[in-house]
Amino acid sequence: MKIYNNIEQLREAIKNAERPIGLVPTMGFLHQGHLALINQAKKYNKTVIVTIFVNPTQFGPNEDYEKYPRDIDHDINLLKSLETNFVFIPERESLYTENHNTWVNVEKLDEKLEGHFRPNHFKGVATIVLKLLNITTPDNAYFGQKDAQQVQIIKQMVADLNLSIKINSIPTVREYDGLALSSRNVYLTKDERKSAKEIYQSLLLAQTLFEKGINNAEIIKKNVSDHIIKNIKNSKIDYVSITQESSLEDLQTIKDSALLSIAVHVGKTRLIDNLILSKK
Ligand code: AMP
């Protein structure tokens, strides 16, 4: 496994790398969710590149950029054990020079769901992802369905900008009790961690209601919100949304399937999760 901090050295190494190349962009503090992406990338590519970069431009002014969990040694050991080919760990200054003035805005999609609560988040995400795609020139890139809106935004960007890269999305990896793995789960206190499993339970409740024939989005959303408020102390819901999966447009009535998305504060920690509601 080769580790690069320098863009030019990585580019030089990639010139001789066997294709197809699979890219897995991460912010580090790696967990089984990230590993699922890397394993998928290994399956379908000759060369796998993992990037670790806590991207400052996707964090709002009052968000957790400074205290975002980091453990590079742990990450490197894990990546070694997976036989990752290249790891790219750039410095902030090499990706954002003082006169960085170019941004990627994926309009419309970036205003929905997370967009209401994190206004410049997706501008930061799309910009860094395009930069990483340009640097690593992959054939495939891998993203988690855990961040469903991010997947749609990246797909839209790749289509709109005519990039010749396949975007692959990987199912959410969960803890034994259903909580979606997230680097931010370490923020939870013991009690919060216990009750956080109710987020997934609320998604399953929605699926059960849909299977029973309830297709009115308002009714399902109300049941989900009530479940969270009742079962998670100190919770504050940012949104419970039922939308079409790719356009992220709100649905009143669910036909065959829909994306149910949740953002909820559990104490001081903001968590997101989602499920595709579908007829089994
Ligand atoms: P992050 O390091 O949180 O920016 O995540 C890097 C990539 O891993 C993103 O594409 C995420 O969607 C994906 N990811 C994060 N958590 C999970 C999970 N629990 N299951 C699957 N993929 C995940």
pTM above 0.75, yes or no: yes
pLDDT average, residue stretch 60-66: 96
Per-residue pLDDT tens for 39-50?
999 999 999 999
Pocket test for ligand 1, best of 24, 26, 75, 121 (most atoms within 8 A of CB): 26
Q: Which residues are catalytic?
A: 34
Ligand 1 geometric centre to CA of 213 (Å): 32
One-letter identity of residue 7: I
Give the C-alpha distances (Å, rounded to integers) separating 111 from 57, 101, 116, 117: 17, 21, 6, 9
- CB distance 165 to 138 below 8 Å: yes
Dump pLDDT digits (tens) for 67-77. Answer: 999 999 999 99
Q: Which pLDDT tens digit goes with each residue over 120-146?
A: 999 999 999 999 999 999 999 999 999
Q: What is the pLDDT of residue 36?
A: 98
- Residue 41 phi/psi, 5° resolution? -65, -40
Same fold, 2-170 and 183-278: no
Confirm or reject: Cβ of 181 under 6 Å from ligand 1.
Answer: yes
Q: Is 114 in the pocket of ligand 1 (CB under 6 A)?
A: no
The residue extents of the domains of the chain are: 2-170, 183-278
Residue 28 alpha carbon, nearest atom of ligand 1: 2
Q: Are 88 and 50 in contact (CB under 8 A)?
A: yes
Phi and psi at 269, nearest 5°, equal: -105, 130
Residue 262, pLDDT > 80, answer: yes
Q: How many A from CA of 118 to the centre of ligand 1?
A: 18
Task: Say which residue the tokens 């199912």 belong to.
Answer: 171
Per-residue model confidence (pLDDT) at position 280: 73
Does pLDDT of 28 surpass 80?
yes
Percent of the chain with pLDDT over 90: 99
136 closest CA partner among 112, 157, 165? 165
The DSSP output letter for 174 is B
- Report pLDDT digits (tens) over 158-203: 999 999 999 999 999 999 999 999 999 999 999 999 999 999 999 9
CATH fold of 2-170 reads Rossmann fold (3.40.50)
Instruction: Round to whole Å and give the CA distance between 60 and 41.
Output: 30
For atom 7 of ligand 1, the residue with the nearest CA is 26
Q: Measured from the CB, is residue 125 less than 6 Å from ligand 1?
A: no
How many whole angstroms from 174 Cα to the centroid of ligand 1?
11
For the beta carbon of residue 272, count every other beta carbon within 10 angstroms: 22
Reduced 3-state DSSP string for 242-254: EECCCCCCECCEC
- Nearest atom (ligand 1) to Cα of 37: 22
pLDDT beyond 90 at 266: yes
Domain 183-278 class, CATH top level:
alpha beta
Per the prediction, the chain carries an average pLDDT of: 98
Half-sphere exposure of 140 (CA within 13 A, CB side): 20
- What is the pLDDT averaged over residues 197-223? 98
What are the DSSP calls for 222-274, one per residue? Answer: HHHHHHHHHHSTTEEEEEEEEE-TTT--B-SB-SSEEEEEEEEEETTEEEEEE
Question: Can you say whether the dihedral through the CA atoms of 57, 9, 34, 143 is positive or negative?
Answer: positive
Q: Is 40 in the pocket of ligand 1 (CB under 6 A)?
A: no
> Of 280 and 209, which is predicted with more confidence?
209
* Span 93-109, pLDDT tens digits: 999 999 999 999 999 99
Distance 257 CA to ligand 1 centre (A): 23
Instruction: Tell me if 183 CB under 6 Å of ligand 1.
Output: yes
State how far the Cα of 221 lies from the Cα of 219, in Å rounded to an integer.
Answer: 6
CB 248, CB 112: distance < 8 Å: yes
Residue 141 in contact with ligand 1 by CB distance below 6 A: no
> Which atom of ligand 1 lies nearest, measured to the CA of 182?
16
Across 215-224, average pLDDT: 98
Q: Is the CB of 147 within 6 Å of ligand 1?
A: yes
Which tokens hold the place of 213? 């024939």
| pLDDT at residue number 176 | 98
Average pLDDT of span 248-265 = 98
CA gap 39, 83 in Å, rounded: 10
Question: pLDDT band at 147, cuts 50/70/90?
Answer: very high
Q: How far is CA 173 from CA 108, 144, 210, in A?
A: 28, 9, 23
Is 149 near ligand 1, meaning CB less than 6 Å away? Answer: no
